[in-house]
Structure formats: C-alpha cells, structure tokens
Structure 1
C-alpha cells in the first residue's frame, strides 16, 4: 500500500501518524478482504482553519470538522445497508488511488479529550472512517450507518482500540 502523508500542521508531530495510518489502512483492507499492495491513499494532516476552508469548498459548511474524505471512485451501493463495490486489484497495473483523507488536529484533539479517549485511538478511528468512505461506505441511512459502524468497531478491535460507539 502506498500512503502519501502531507503534514501541514506541526501539532501532528506529537503522533506517529505514518505508523498509525499504515496500521489503520492495513487493518481496514484486511478486514474487507482487499489486498492492500494494489492501492494508494493520500492523507493530509492539517489544522482547523484549513479543514474549515475545505469543508466550505466541498460541502458548503464553513466550519471545521474532524475528518473529510474524497473517494477516487463512487463505489456506493444502490440499496441502503448493502456492501459497496469494493475495488478489484489489477496485479499488472499501477496502484489504484482509493482517495484522499484530511484530518484537523484541533477538532480531533478536542473530541478525544471530551470523549475521554486517547488521541491516538480517536485518530485511528477517523482514519478508518475516512478510508471506509473512500471505499463507498456512508452513514446517510440507519442501515448504512449500522453497516459502517459495525466494520469500524471490528477493524478498531484488531488495532486494540475500544468500540467508539
């Protein structure tokens, strides 16, 4: 798996974001039965000001948020609660881009503090969450949320992170 990480906010240096991202991505793809070596992902670690700009530009919401994701391809199922069309590897081709994820440090740190969770656990959860969005999962309906949250809980358990829900 190729993971391109851009750290824009120095506060992220307090975490081993590269290791956390690799572990979260590998656990997610392994749980879903997707062979990681055929894919790539980009992650931007920024601050609240930057993510508020992105949230305004892409979602029309002029506020910071914890995580944003941009899937490279629409894999969402047509029926709520059903599995998305997971990527199929091309062993002879270039790695396929799964998408981009952005994390905002201040919001992540505040949420972790308010939830009484270690920051590393919360960030691992948000990386898994963002990657699942890149893979076609969402939480727009109760059925979709149940499917996505079930996978999040299962994936996080393999990382030693307690159920966030």
Structure 2
C-alpha cells in the first residue's frame, strides 16, 4: 500500500524534564509519521506540537471558547490539493487519559494523532451521530491496520 507523502514537523513545548523524556519516548518521529500517514487520504504538511497544560488551555480557550486543556486540537489551513494542519496535543491530558483508560501512552498518542489527522481532512464527529459513527469506524480501521487496539471498545 502506497501512503501519501508527509512533511512533518514535530515540536515539544516547555515540559518538565522528566515529562519531556517520557513523552519524547512515546513519540519517536518515525512512528508519528507512520500513524499520520496511515490516516491521510492525500499529501500533507503537518506540524505536531506537544504542549503543557497552560498552553493547551490557552489555545482551547482562545480558539474554541472552552477554558480547559483538551487532549488534541486540530488547526486545518488548506484542504486542496494538500492537507496543511497543526495538531496540538496536551501532554498532561494525554498522559492522564491513557492511565485512566488503561492504555499505553504510545497507543493513546497513536489514536489522537489519527483522530486529529482525520479532522484536518474534514472528518467531524460533532456534526451528527452518523458522522461520529463514521469517523469512529474509520479511526478503528486505521488503528487496527497499525496494530493498535480499538480505543473505543
């Protein structure tokens, strides 16, 4: 299977040294690229930024009007012919969710990167129950192809 080309920038914002090491270990560049490329339908330029709770909260508040840090934010800038997007993941939220859900940090990051990449291509789970079901099924299929367990089941 030929996967779409990806230009990837992987950034780590200010995190405590121990936290930074933990999240960097869960996000080797080659795996991040693989997870995203499997979710792509066409060529893309994507920046993945791992942030702390303060930056995550500020971005969610400023761009979505929600005053809390969330797991992943997708900022998509162009749809045709290339996907151009920023995926912002909040390290403390991702770590907490992974622990609560009994998942590895790596598996949860894989899911959220696939989820965010689908959003960058126009998929939306907030528009209707049918759209949510379709997006969830797409995520599960992509993750299964990557050897990652169903995050919903």
**RMSD over aligned Cα atoms:** 1.5
Give 4+ residue runs of structure 1 displaced > 3 Å after superposition.
Answer: none
Structure 1 Cα separation of the partners of residues 44 and 92 of structure 2: 29
Unaligned segments of structure 1, at least 5 residues: 76-86, 89-95
Aligned to 1:142: 129
Q: Kindly report which structure 2 residues correspond to 1:73-152, keeping only aligned pairs within 5 A, or say none.
A: 73=78, 87-88=80-81, 96-140=82-126, 141-152=128-139
DSSP 3-state at the match of 1:162: coil
TM-score (normalizing by structure 1): 0.79
DSSP 3-state at the match of 2:45: strand
CA offset digits 1:132-153 (Å, max 9, x no partner): 0000001111011011001000
Q: Do the aligned partners of 2:83 and 2:121 also contact (CA within 8 Å) in 1?
A: no
Structure 2 Cα separation of the partners of residues 129 and 17 of structure 1: 18
Unaligned segments of structure 2, at least 5 residues: 1-5
Query: What's the offset of the Cα at 1:13?
Result: 2.2
Query: In the comparison of the two structures, how many residue pairs are matched?
Result: 140
Aligned to 1:46: 51
TM-score (normalizing by structure 2): 0.85
